[in-house]
């Protein structure tokens, strides 16, 4: 039986290579990225020693949500925020708040201004007990929601989004870090190892195909 001609092998390789590029292009076009969540401002007037007014027991928070996806919108479920005192981040919340569900277009940034007071169960007794002698307080802010991505004319399934950050407040009642504070999730080492292994297997497979046709 005659061996296949070099021209036939090259054509087969070109077909496989083209299919691979097409699959990669489709994967990149359908790939989604979770919104970026940051705390733009964080202010408690009652902790401002300059004002010397402890009656305004309100927390003002500006939350920013950025959709970095191109040509993909984001449907948010209710965005739930939980506020705790550090160092015990697993303790009972001192306050909770929520942003109603909404839609966000691609490459858009939404700023949600929250006013957290007694109606949101803001526990000022606990907050004042957490104030350090220098007037600072350490908060832990956690965000939980679910998002669906709009790709052309269809929506994806819901993806859980759980992120958080520590916020240090000074004796002026505002956050110490003047820049936006990014809310992030702890890395899942099991998933990182899994995907690293999958990439390694795919790379070896492609190398074997190339060696077979060269």
Instruction: Answer whether residue 78 shows pLDDT above 60.
Output: yes
Instruction: Answer whether residue 34 shows pLDDT above 60.
Output: yes
Instruction: Between 8 and 34, name the one with better pLDDT.
Output: 34
How far apart CA 42 and CA 181 sit, in angstroms, is: 10
How far apart CA 165 and CA 184 sit, in angstroms, is: 7
Beta strands in 92-133, from DSSP E residues, in sequence order? 95-99, 102-104, 109-116
Instruction: Answer whether residue 39 shows pLDDT above 90.
Output: yes
How far apart CA 185 and CA 34 sit, in angstroms, is: 11
Instruction: Say what the pLDDT of residue 10 is.
Output: 65
Where residue 152 falls among pLDDT bands split at 50, 70, 90? confident
Domain 31-183, second-level architecture: Sandwich (2.60)
Instruction: Answer whether residue 177 shows pLDDT above 90.
Output: yes
How far apart CA 139 and CA 162 sit, in angstroms, is: 17
Total residue length of the chain: 214
Per the CB < 8 A criterion, the answer to whether 182 and 36 are in contact is yes
> The pTM is what?
0.75
pLDDT tens profile 103-115:
999 999 999 999 9
């Amino acid at each position: 039986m005659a061996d296949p001609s070099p021209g036939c092998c090259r054509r087969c390789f070109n077909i496989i290579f083209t299919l691979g590029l097409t699959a990669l292009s489709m994967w990149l076009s359908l790939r989604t990225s979770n919104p970026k969540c940051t705390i733009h401002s964080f202010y408690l007037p009652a902790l401002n020693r300059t004002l010397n007014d402890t009656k305004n027991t309100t927390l003002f928070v500006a939350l920013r949500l950025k959709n970095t996806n191109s040509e993909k919108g984001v449907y948010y479920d209710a965005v739930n925020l939980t506020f705790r005192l550090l160092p015990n981040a697993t303790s009972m919340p001192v306050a909770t708040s929520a942003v109603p569900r909404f839609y966000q277009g691609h490459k858009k940034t939404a700023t949600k201004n929250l006013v957290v007071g007694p109606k949101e169960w803001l526990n000022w007794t606990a907050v004042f007990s957490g104030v350090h002698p220098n007037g600072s307080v350490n908060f832990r802010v956690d965000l939980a929601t679910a998002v669906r991505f709009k790709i052309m004319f269809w929506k994806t399934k819901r993806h859980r989004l759980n992120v958080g950050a520590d916020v240090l407040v000074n004796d002026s009642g505002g956050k110490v870090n003047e820049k936006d504070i990014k809310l992030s999730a702890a890395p899942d080492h099991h998933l990182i190892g899994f995907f690293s292994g999958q990439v390694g297997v795919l790379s070896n497979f492609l190398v074997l195909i190339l060696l077979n046709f060269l």
